[in-house]
Amino acid sequence: MIILHHGSRSSASRRVRLCLEEKGLRYEGHVVDMAKMEHHSPEYLKINPLGVIPTLIHDGKPLHESGTICEYLDETYPDPPLRPDTPFERAEMRNWIRHIDGLIGNLIIFNWRHHLQKTASQWTDAELAEKLKSIPSKERQEAWLRVARKPYTEEERDAARGKLVVLLDKMEDALKPSGWLVGKAYSIADIAAAPFVKRIDEEIAPDEVTAQKHPRVNEWWTKLQERPAFLRADFGPFLGP
């Protein structure tokens, strides 16, 4: 049995849902409300001590980190394959996952202000201090403190936007040989990039995901969104209610 604890708007959760749908795997989904701090609840911390989402539970065993989860699913359920055939290309795929994951802070700068910032800004100092006690990571404690009391500036968003546009530049070059990020076929590398391009296209820099600015990325994104699995994975609008 597969159970997925995830967030509807979480990029990492979207990645795992897309992988599950590409595999055609049935799973039991449990939505974790981050605005209500459910990912820091004692119950959730029992299955994920880091207090992050998603968490995949397979046959009673929890697994964390979206890239690792996707590779695990591909190894456990190898058909259809989502990893390249050769060791070198699989290494390239992992490098793409690491590179994209390294940019998550730039994405979060935009994500915070839509949902979590409004919630956190309404807490009193005493409430904020109490909330911070439940967060296991000092880095995440600092992020919540920052968003609650000193929201990111437009200058910081501009810098983050620039770094995310560089990702599109890197993708544009990689897509040239075959239209996919690694080798000649759709892989977990493409799945890893999809939630980031979704956010860039939706709000952060929509004028960059165009046939004029990044034609190969534009074609890749159109092709990816047409896949039946993408529709089932429910990326939905990040800026929705």
Does the pLDDT at position 241 exceed 60?
Answer: no
**Domain span at residue 64?**
2-76
Q: What are the helix and strand counts (H, E) for the chain? A: 12, 4
- Of 19, 50, 76, the residue that ends a domain is 76
Residue 164 belongs to a domain? yes
What is the rounded distance in angstroms from the CA atom of residue 92 to the CA atom of residue 100? 12
Domain co-membership, 207 together with 104: yes
CATH of the domain at 184: 1.20.1050.10
Domain co-membership, 97 together with 56: no
Residue 46: the pLDDT is 94
70, two tokens: 């996707």
Q: Which amino acid is at 195?
A: P
Domain co-membership, 17 together with 63: yes
Domain co-membership, 12 together with 95: no
Domain co-membership, 64 together with 94: no
Q: What is the pTM of this model?
A: 0.92
Residue 240 — very low, low, confident or very high, per pLDDT cuts 50/70/90?
A: low
Q: Which amino acid is at 174?
A: A
Does the pLDDT at position 52 exceed 60?
Answer: yes
Domain co-membership, 24 together with 72: yes
Residue 18: the pLDDT is 98
Residue 124 belongs to a domain? no
Does the pLDDT at position 173 exceed 90?
Answer: yes
Residue 151 — very low, low, confident or very high, per pLDDT cuts 50/70/90?
A: confident
User: How much is the average pLDDT of 144-148?
Assistant: 80
Domain co-membership, 29 together with 100: no
User: How much is the average pLDDT of 7-23?
Assistant: 96
Q: In terms of DSSP bridges, do strands 55-58 and 61-64 run parallel, antiparallel, or are they unpaired?
A: antiparallel
Residue 140: the pLDDT is 79
38, two tokens: 């459910």
Q: How many CB atoms lie within 10 A of CB 97?
A: 22
Domain co-membership, 10 together with 45: yes
What is the rounded distance in angstroms from the CA atom of residue 43 to the CA atom of residue 124? 25
Residue 148: the pLDDT is 80
Q: In terms of DSSP bridges, do strands 55-58 and 28-31 run parallel, antiparallel, or are they unpaired?
A: unpaired
Alpha carbon 123 to chain centroid, angstroms: 27
Q: Which amino acid is at 7?
A: G
Instruction: Render pLDDT for 78-129 as a digit per residue (tens, 0 to 9).
Output: 999 999 999 999 999 999 999 999 999 899 888 877 667 777 778 888 888 8
Residues in the chain: 241
- Of 52, 76, 100, the residue that ends a domain is 76
Q: In terms of DSSP bridges, do strands 61-64 and 28-31 run parallel, antiparallel, or are they unpaired?
A: unpaired
Domain co-membership, 100 together with 186: yes
Residue 21: the pLDDT is 98
Number of structural domains, the chain? 2
Domain co-membership, 97 together with 7: no
User: CA nearest 52: which of 28, 81, 32, 82?
Assistant: 32
Domain co-membership, 216 together with 196: yes
Mean pLDDT value across the chain: 92
Residue 34 — very low, low, confident or very high, per pLDDT cuts 50/70/90?
A: confident
Contacts of 236 (CB under 8 A, 6+ apart): 8, 9
Q: Name which of 14-18, 143-147, 153-157 the model is least confident about.
A: 143-147
Instruction: Render pLDDT for 213-226 as a digit per residue (tens, 0 to 9).
Output: 999 999 999 999 99
Domain co-membership, 71 together with 94: no
Query: Contact 196/187 with Cβ under 8 angstroms?
Result: no
Reduce the DSSP state of residue 3 to 3 states and report it.
Answer: strand
Residue 171 belongs to a domain? yes
Residue % of the chain over a pLDDT of 90? 73
Cβ density class 185-213: b for 16+ within 10 Å, e for less: bbbbbbbbbbbbbbbbbeebbeebbeeee
Residue 143 — very low, low, confident or very high, per pLDDT cuts 50/70/90?
A: confident
User: CA nearest 5: which of 36, 48, 37, 35?
Assistant: 48
